[in-house]
Amino acid sequence: MRLTTLGDLLLDVIVRIDEPLEAGADRMAETRVGAGGQAANVAAWAASLGATARFVGKRGGDAAGEIATRELSGHGVEVAGPIAGRTGVVVSLATEDDRGLASDRGTATDLQGSELEPEWFDCDVLHVSGYALLVEPAASAALRAAAMARRYGAGVSLDLSAWTLIDDAFRARAIGLQPNVVFATEPEREQFGDFETLWVVKRGEDGVIVDGEQFAVAPTAVVDPTGAGDAFAAGFIVGGVELGLATAARCVGKLGAMP
């Protein structure tokens, strides 16, 4: 299996607390700083499962970019794409039951189609993060990447990423991508509306629904839910729904979104 992912490579700052923050209060926390970004996470988990994985995206040549690139490469992922500007940072505040994100995507949104090399998309599957479809020029770059991948006979998968970001422009770009598989949470699926594809609906602790069939989660003790959907997507692409669920269980059993 040869997988290319397209989207963001960011610096992930994960803060785990036992109870919610309150104004003026001090809380003890467990923290982790390292590589992140939806597309980068999927590539890292796919590589951990034995796939040949490549990440494509725009990142900065700053200290944050160096840290993120070094870690992603250390997971066995080929990192490709232009280096310019400032690497984005995502802060994830996680409790046992929930998480919140503060996202700064940096230069990732500036990826242009002219900066893509066709050979980066010589793969079996191109997985596109929905964040790449939000704004131009990255959205047009994602559509061009899908066209390049199909010339090599690749399938295309898409993660809708966040229901609050789905609007008419996003829908049009997603449909233009012509994905064979779409990963979505239940709110994302409802917000997007009808579209003919293989829907994989992620339902957290209630498991997943694949083409109308429900599957239960794999048993695990939850430490940090960050990246579980990305781990599931990687496992699903590499080996199907059962491997996806097992990989998601591995992810939530530790702190951090990568293997």
Q: Evaluate if residue 22 carries a pLDDT over 80.
A: no
Q: Does residue 237 belong to any structural domain of this protein?
A: yes
The percent of residues above 90 in pLDDT, for the chain, comes to 74
Residue 12 CA, distance from chain mean position: 12
Residue 172 tokens, joined? 């049009």
Q: Evaluate if residue 86 carries a pLDDT over 90.
A: yes
pTM for this prediction: 0.91
Name the 3-class secondary structure at 111.
coil
Cα–Cα dist 98/100, whole Å: 7
Q: What mean pLDDT, rounded, does the chain reach?
A: 92
249, 6 contact by CB (below 8 A): no
Q: Mean pLDDT check: name the lowest of 24-33, 108-117, 210-219.
A: 24-33
Higher pLDDT, residue 94 or 175: 175
Q: Mean pLDDT check: name the lowest of 22-26, 32-36, 48-52, 69-73.
A: 22-26
Q: Does residue 227 belong to any structural domain of this protein?
A: yes
Give residue-wise pLDDT tens across range 87-144: 999 887 776 666 677 788 899 999 999 999 999 999 999 999 999 999 999 999 999 9
Q: Does residue 210 belong to any structural domain of this protein?
A: yes
Three-class secondary structure assignment of 161-228: CCHHHCCHHHHHHHHHHCCCEEEEEHHHHHHHCCCCCEEEEECHHHCEEECCEEECCCCCCCCCCCCH
Q: Mean pLDDT check: name the lowest of 19-33, 52-66, 119-133, 187-201.
A: 19-33
User: What is the Cβ-side half-sphere exposure of residue 134, based on CA atoms within 13 angstroms?
Assistant: 18
Q: Does residue 13 belong to any structural domain of this protein?
A: no
* Domain span at 163: 2-7+36-86+108-252
223, 254 contact by CB (below 8 A): yes
Higher pLDDT, residue 16 or 237: 237
Number of structural domains, the chain? 1
How does 145-174 read in b/e, with b if 16+ C-beta sit within 10 Å?
bbebbeeeebbbbbbbbbeeebeeebbebb
The predicted structure's pLDDT at residue 192: 96
Q: Does residue 212 belong to any structural domain of this protein?
A: yes
Give residue-wise pLDDT tens across range 243-256: 999 999 999 998 77
The predicted structure's pLDDT at residue 8: 95
The predicted structure's pLDDT at residue 96: 63
The predicted structure's pLDDT at residue 99: 66
Residue 171 tokens, joined? 């829908």
Q: Does residue 91 belong to any structural domain of this protein?
A: no
Whichever domain contains 196, its CATH number is: 3.40.1190.20
Supply φ then ψ for residue 134, to 5 degrees: -75, -45
Q: Mean pLDDT check: name the lowest of 26-30, 124-128, 217-221.
A: 26-30
- How many angstroms separate the Cα of 32 from the Cα of each of 13, 36, 75, 90, 247? 6, 11, 17, 12, 20
54, 120 contact by CB (below 8 A): yes
Q: Does residue 26 belong to any structural domain of this protein?
A: no
Q: Evaluate if residue 185 carries a pLDDT over 80.
A: yes
Q: Does residue 12 belong to any structural domain of this protein?
A: no
Give residue-wise pLDDT tens across range 52-84: 999 999 999 999 999 999 999 999 999 999 999
Q: Evaluate if residue 21 carries a pLDDT over 90.
A: no
28 burial level (CB within 10 Å; 0-12, 13-18, 19+): exposed
Higher pLDDT, residue 217 or 39: 39
Tokens 């729904």: give the residue. 241
